[in-house]
A = this chain, B = another copy of it.
Amino acid sequence: MLEYLESLRLVDHHCHGVLGEDVGRTAFEEALTEAETAGPPGVSMFDTQVGFALRRWCPPVLGLDAHAEPGEYLARRAELGAAEVNRRFLSAAGLDALCVDTGYTPEAILGPPALGRLAGAEAHEIVRLEPVAERAAADGVEAGRFAGEVRSRLHAAFAAGAAGAKSIAAYRAGLELSGARPAEGEVAAAAGRLMLAAERTGGPPRVCDEVLHRFLVWCAVDAGLPVQFHVGYGDADADLRRGDPLLLIELLRAMDPVPAMLLHNYPFHRHAGYLAQVLPNVYVDAGLATHNLGHRSPALIAELLELAPFGKVLYSSDAFGLAELYHLGALLFRRGLAGFLAGGVEDGAWTARDAERVAGLVASGNARRVYGLE
């Protein structure tokens, strides 16, 4: 079953750009997990499930023995240089297509076309919703014209070939969004508050308002594009309390039949699996958590597949920055899913033929169908 999964190229339906430059040890450790820092004195982010998984699987791609020590590994990485390292890991990931969230792009991050070339895969763009509204506010669009202007900017972005949209409400106002389409007056009032707050703080506008998140989701829904939602696990800014996908049920219901793609989901992945079963338009993945859980990722994959129909589960890496993460995500996903499916075949719970069919759905078939990729 593992061989079969290794023969399948994956669609990574949610990732970010890769760093185009070399990084030192501290920056590497900071980029490895969702921690804000490389840890207090005495703690190394290499001493984590993802750190151990990296040392197990990545050194051989760079010509070292498995389980290389961090110092040796980083020295070899520096020696090869970012371009070669990126090429090796992106190619090792075995991808057919990537959907790239371009909403957060520090300077040294490569965009979808470069990422696609490195991976030998088609690269599609996912439009992050909130920054479009924030740029409109920064451009001084007046409150009364805000809804129309944002709608037209988004439709232009979608028309440029986007595969989907993404909401980061979980990072801001939280996932408890009502299902109702906000009235124009409500959006105008919220836009006014947004600009007033920016003026007061002197910083750039920052969308953190139930009405605006919801308005933005409806813009994507009206365009018929699948909407990705950050759910659960993320960096410390995420405030996990507000990231439970159960909070989103009203909006998920209201946006049917437009697909809602619940990303990451850990530690609420069983909640997400429930939603994928009971609501026809809900799809789920275990991105980010898969590589962060390392040797424990098979448990996560098995739990996600408890209630979620096999036609509703997708692969994503949620990789950002470090090329290793695209490879680790894909490798651990293939191994975890293969173990899950092979275990069932061994126990006589399902046939090898059904197992291979499910592998095909989750590896790429579901993503191709939902995003309309050919």
Contacts and interface: CB of A to CB of B under 8 A. Distances in A.
Per assembly, the copies of the chain total: 3
A348 interface: yes
B358 A47 contact: yes
A52 B350 contact: yes
A239 B176 CA distance: 13
Interface string A196-238: 0000000000000000000000000000000000000101100
B281 A40 contact: yes
Given A45-B309, A240-B271, 13 more contacts: A36-B279, A42-B369, A43-B309, A43-B312, A47-B361, A49-B305, A56-B348, A67-B351, A233-B274, A236-B253, A239-B249, A277-B292, A296-B302
B56 A280 contact: no
- The list of the 9 closest CB pairs from A to B, nearest first, reads A43-B311, A267-B270, A236-B278, A295-B349, A47-B310, A241-B246, A52-B350, A48-B309, A40-B280
8 contacts: A33-B277, A40-B257, A42-B366, A48-B277, A48-B307, A56-B348, A233-B307, A299-B302
Contacts of A361: 47
Interface in A41-55: 42-45, 47-49, 52-53, 55
Nearest to A52: B350
A257 B39 CA distance: 11
Interface in A284-303: 292-296, 299-300, 302-303
